[in-house]
Amino acid sequence: MPAVADHVIGGWQLSIINSALSAPPVNLRAWNGSVPAAFQTNGNLAEWRGGEAFRPNISGPVKNENWTTDTYFNTANVTLPTDPSHPFGNAGRNIVRALPLNTLDLGIFKNFRLPRESMKLQFRSEMFNALNHTNFTAPNGDRAAAGFGTIRGTYAARQVQFALKFLF
């Protein structure tokens, strides 16, 4: 190939990484933090320190079919326990799932040969979440919180970086 055409057309590299992760489980909680005094059984310890895992009562489907970021859960079907003699609710562990995560990362590289054979210059462009697909974080699973069932975050949007690399 002629030198001018080689500088324009030759030396390109492409890399693609597609990440598709299944939806993580959401553990519904009845109270996150301060448990009402009538429901306490062991001094309000944190769950990871041996405390209880207070869960709500479920009376129907938890996830809304036509959800929005404000109504991911069907709040009418998830209620707080009301009887202190049965404080733990009937919700199982990890019974609902958040949304899956899908990203496409793209790398485009161009190698330029320099006059000395042992030297090269490489231009790199890398795009993370190249298609700028919105990936939502998990919804709030604390039934006692005002924001129960809402999604208030996303993972990173498209990020682009450029680099110039000198190889010798």
Contacts of 27 (CB under 8 A, 6+ apart): 53, 93, 94, 141
CA-based nearest residue to 152, from 166, 131, 138, 141: 138
Three-state helix/strand/coil letters over 3-27:
HHHHHHHCCEEEEEEEEEECCCEEC
Mean pLDDT of 96-117: 91
Mean pLDDT of the chain: 86
CB 139 within 8 A of CB 26: yes
Query: How confident is the model over 64-102, as pLDDT tens digits?
Result: 999 999 999 999 999 988 887 777 788 888 899 999 999
**Predicted local confidence at residue 48, as pLDDT:** 55
Quickly state the pLDDT bin for 35 (edges 50, 70, 90): low
b/e code 104-139 from CB counts within 10 Å (16+ = b): bbbbebeeeeeeeeeeeeeeeebbbbbeeeebbebb
**Predicted local confidence at residue 6, as pLDDT:** 74
What are the domain boundaries of the chain? 3-167
d(CA 143, CA 84): 17
Phi, psi of 163 (to 5 degrees): -150, 155
Contacts of 125 (CB under 8 A, 6+ apart): 107, 108, 109, 160, 161, 162, 163
